[in-house]
């Protein structure tokens, strides 16, 4: 934290991390603090970090649930490396998060939970508040449980109910610390617990008590304020990548005039998209929770045949199950969108942790020559635009499109400037009019090479599609050798030509120079932060970040040729770098990879890039 001397210290940015038992309500605490941050006019990004068990054994490190928010006066691209402030509701959450906080971080602990029984569960041999574990940190020891009970004592609540609000006491303290209007958080409870005024009252009292505690207990030598961010004029909201994906798909449906159909099976971390779309029957969204991943995608293909904007959502293991059906969509040349919210693999892997390791599966994980369009969102808000784009490409080019996001985007949130649907680019699927005498199922558009979309129920266009190879133009079943070659070539060429309809690759920073850093998908935030920091330090490094992967933008060779060194960074063991090696063999690529279920940190990237500059 850069500080100016004042009673209220002005900061450029800060990172706060809430951590507690998975039943302690840390996600709610974090999201209420995010709302407050929005009202304060800061830019911010958040990330929840929770275990894959719903309620792991209480008090253990495996049961710790965390929520991190990074907010600032300037544009915030990531949820932050190390935290400036940690709220630890018990010893386990302190143990789990010590390595994610700065050496001089402020640590707020619930001393009521710092008892021997909990030290043992957390793996501490002695009280970490006393044994030097926290040397260098500013530690605020607050008996949160006691004070919470005290705050609601006139409400006649049982002990268990009273203690449910102790997270709100912590929130009150943090709200005071950052000079926030704590009453803004009340509306959440007033709406959510409309029918239970005692709960509303209890939470209001506890937040207020926490805030007042901060003010009167003289535990802080100063408080902090972050000026409003320089955001463009407009209406804003907070959005997670999964929500943004759902809404981008809905926008594409509305703009194209095609009903949206989602066939999906619940899977972490993609389920939110299904849950969100399931809510929106009022906007004619049809969702079907299928009996399995396969029925999810196959029903999507059926819906597409019937004329819907058809989508299936999944994560890595589900994408594996969908492989054969993606092939069916490839050969029938029907538009579908497949959203893969990637997670750590292989197999069940790390369900709640993020990874970029499904790239090769998305590109090639099918039998036969089965090319599809693959695109990847670069931030939570970008999920909106890329979901829209996925649907547009699918329908206009009559092809399956795989949209790659991942757990960090899906669950992470960002400030979203609300767009107008009418401002999004038009979507014009190649429909066939009734009784068109020229219609042949596999006759193609000369530019895009897409076949046309003839919807059941339309007179004069009856035709059969299917998984058997089809004769060019007529669509009759064909085993002819030359026809198979031709159809294989056409299917690839159709995908290649999508390159003419996507944006060119852009370089951030100098357009030529010593070092080009290459990345794709969810790592954009941390990459750009590293590059920008290096620029302010006078170290010139440029970034080329890919959202379009199959096909690649048309100017990749041109961009790469202007740099002496290229390094490709990804949260996998080098899938994109190998893809680039295959396509552009004339360049030498270095690579930086990590698969720890964790995002890159700005500091590790900078260290790597600086070493390369000095090589």
Q: Is 194 in the site for another protein (CB under 8 A)?
A: no
Which of residues 107, 390, 465, 515 is near another protein by CB under 8 A? 465
State the residue for tokens 């990548």: 241
Per CB under 8 A, contacts with another protein among 358-387 are: none
Per CB under 8 A, contacts with another protein among 53-82 are: none
State the first-to-last Cα distance of the chain, in angstroms, to the nearest integer.
31
Q: What is d(CA 125, CA 128) in angstroms, rounded to the nearest whole number?
A: 8
**C-beta separation of 416 from 237 below 8 A:** yes
- Output 22 or 264, the one with its CB closest to another protein: 264
**C-alpha triplet 155, 159, 161: angle, nearest 5°:** 70
Which of residues 23, 123, 136, 460 is near another protein by CB under 8 A? 460
Which of residues 208, 238, 408, 450 is near another protein by CB under 8 A? 238
**C-alpha triplet 369, 520, 383: angle, nearest 5°:** 95
Q: How far is the CB of 521 from another protein (least distance, A)?
A: 24
Task: Return the H-helix or E-strand segment holding 252.
Answer: helix 241-256
Per CB under 8 A, contacts with another protein among 239-258 are: 247, 250-251, 254
Strand bridging mode 413-417 / 43-49: antiparallel
Q: In what order do the strands lie in the sheet with 373-376?
A: 286-289, 260-264, 309-314, 336-342, 400-406, 373-376, 548-550
Q: How far is the CB of 264 from another protein (least distance, A)?
A: 12
- Output 8 or 231, the one with its CB closest to another protein: 231
Q: How far is the CB of 235 from another protein (least distance, A)?
A: 5
Stretch that binds another protein, among 89-97, 199-207, 320-328, 592-600 (CB under 8 A): 320-328
Q: What is d(CA 63, CA 50) in angstroms, rounded to the nearest whole number?
A: 8
- Residue 412: which of 598, 241, 272 has the closest Cα? 241
Q: What is d(CA 427, CA 284) in angstroms, rounded to the nearest whole number?
A: 19
Stretch that binds another protein, among 217-225, 453-461, 534-542, 579-587 (CB under 8 A): 453-461
Stretch that binds another protein, among 1-9, 230-238, 425-433, 607-615 (CB under 8 A): 230-238
- Output 384 or 600, the one with its CB closest to another protein: 384
Q: Which two tokens mark 369?
A: 């020559």
- Output 107 or 295, the one with its CB closest to another protein: 295
- Output 155 or 231, the one with its CB closest to another protein: 231
Per CB under 8 A, contacts with another protein among 471-500 are: 476-477
Which of residues 120, 126, 155, 283 is near another protein by CB under 8 A? 283
Task: Return the H-helix or E-strand segment holding 192.
Answer: helix 186-192
Q: Which two tokens mark 510?
A: 């100098």
Go through the chain and tell me how many residues it has. 615
Mask: binding to another protein, 383-422, rule CB under 8 A, as x and -?
Answer: -----------------------------------xxxxx
Q: Is 468 in the site for another protein (CB under 8 A)?
A: yes
Which of residues 44, 213, 261, 520 is near another protein by CB under 8 A? 261
**C-beta separation of 63 from 212 below 8 A:** no
- Residue 395: which of 206, 222, 260 has the closest Cα? 260
Beta bridge partners of residue 414, listed in sequence order: 45, 239
Residues near another protein, by CB under 8 A: 35, 38-39, 41, 231-238, 247, 250-251, 254, 259, 261, 263, 280-284, 286, 288, 290-292, 294-295, 298-308, 310, 324-325, 327-328, 332, 418-422, 456-468, 476-477
């Amino acid at each position: 934290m850069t500080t100016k001397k004042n009673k209220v210290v002005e900061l450029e940015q800060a990172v706060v991390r809430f951590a507690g038992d998975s039943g302690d309500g840390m996600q709610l605490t974090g999201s209420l603090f995010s709302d407050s941050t929005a009202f304060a006019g800061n830019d911010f990004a958040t990330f929840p970090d929770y275990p894959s068990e719903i309620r792991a054994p209480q008090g253990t490190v495996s049961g710790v649930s965390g929520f991190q928010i990074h907010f600032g006066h300037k544009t915030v691209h990531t949820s932050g490396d190390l935290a400036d402030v940690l709220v630890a509701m018990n010893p386990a959450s302190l143990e789990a998060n010590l390595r994610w906080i700065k050496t001089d971080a402020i640590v707020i602990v619930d001393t009521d939970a710092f008892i021997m029984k909990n030290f043992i569960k957390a793996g501490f041999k002695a009280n970490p508040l006393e044994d030097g574990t926290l040397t260098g940190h500013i530690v605020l020891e607050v008996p949160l449980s006691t004070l919470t009970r005290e705050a609601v004592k006139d409400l006649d609540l049982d002990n268990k109910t009273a203690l449910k609000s102790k997270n709100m006491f912590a929130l009150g303290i943090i709200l005071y610390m950052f000079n926030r209007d704590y009453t803004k958080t009340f509306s959440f409870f007033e709406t959510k617990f409309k029918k239970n005024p005692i709960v509303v009252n209890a939470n209001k009292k506890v937040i207020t008590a926490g805030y007042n505690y901060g003010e009167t207990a003289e535990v802080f030598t100063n408080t902090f304020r972050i000026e409003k961010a320089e955001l463009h004029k407009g209406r804003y909201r907070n959005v997670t990548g999964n929500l943004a994906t759902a809404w981008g798909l809905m926008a594409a449906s509305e703009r194209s005039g095609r009903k949206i159909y989602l066939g999906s099976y619940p899977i972490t971390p993609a389920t939110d998209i299904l849950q969100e779309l399931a809510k929106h029957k009022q906007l004619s969204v049809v969702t079907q929770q299928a009996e399995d991943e396969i029925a999810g995608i196959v029903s999507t293909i059926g819906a597409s045949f019937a004329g819907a904007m058809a989508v299936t959502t999944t994560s890595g293991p589900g994408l594996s199950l969908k492989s054969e059906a993606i092939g069916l969509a490839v050969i029938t040349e029907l538009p579908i969108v497949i959203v893969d919210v990637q997670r750590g693999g292989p197999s069940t892997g790390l369900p709640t942790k993020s990874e970029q390791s499904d790239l090769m599966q998305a590109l090639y994980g099918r039998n036969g020559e089965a090319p599809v369009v693959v695109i990847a969102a670069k931030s939570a808000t970008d999920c909106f635009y890329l979901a829209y784009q996925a649907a547009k490409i699918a329908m206009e080019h009559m092809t399956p499109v795989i949209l790659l996001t991942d757990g960090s985007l899906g669950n992470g949130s960002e400030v979203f400037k609300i767009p107008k649907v009418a401002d999004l680019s038009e979507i014009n699927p190649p429909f066939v009019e009734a009784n068109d005498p020229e219609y042949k199922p596999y006759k193609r558009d000369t530019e895009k090479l897409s076949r046309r979309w003839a919807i059941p129920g339309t007179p004069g266009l009856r035709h059969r599609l299917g998984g058997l190879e089809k004769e060019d133009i007529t669509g009759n079943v064909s085993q002819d050798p030359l026809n198979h070659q031709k159809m294989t070539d056409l299917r690839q060429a159709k995908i290649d030509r999508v390159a003419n309809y996507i944006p060119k690759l852009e370089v951030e920073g100098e357009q030529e120079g010593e070092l080009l850093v290459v990345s794709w998908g969810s790592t954009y935030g941390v990459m750009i932060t590293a590059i920008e920091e290096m620029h302010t330090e006078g170290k010139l490094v440029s970034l080329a970040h890919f959202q379009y992967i199959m096909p690649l933008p048309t100017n990749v060779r041109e961009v790469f040729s202007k740099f002496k060194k290229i390094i490709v960074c990804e949260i996998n063991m080098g899938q994109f770098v190998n893809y680039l090696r295959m396509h552009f063999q004339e360049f030498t690529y270095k690579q930086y990879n990590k698969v720890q279920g964790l995002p890159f940190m700005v500091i590790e990237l900078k260290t790597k890039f600086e070493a390369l500059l000095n090589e």
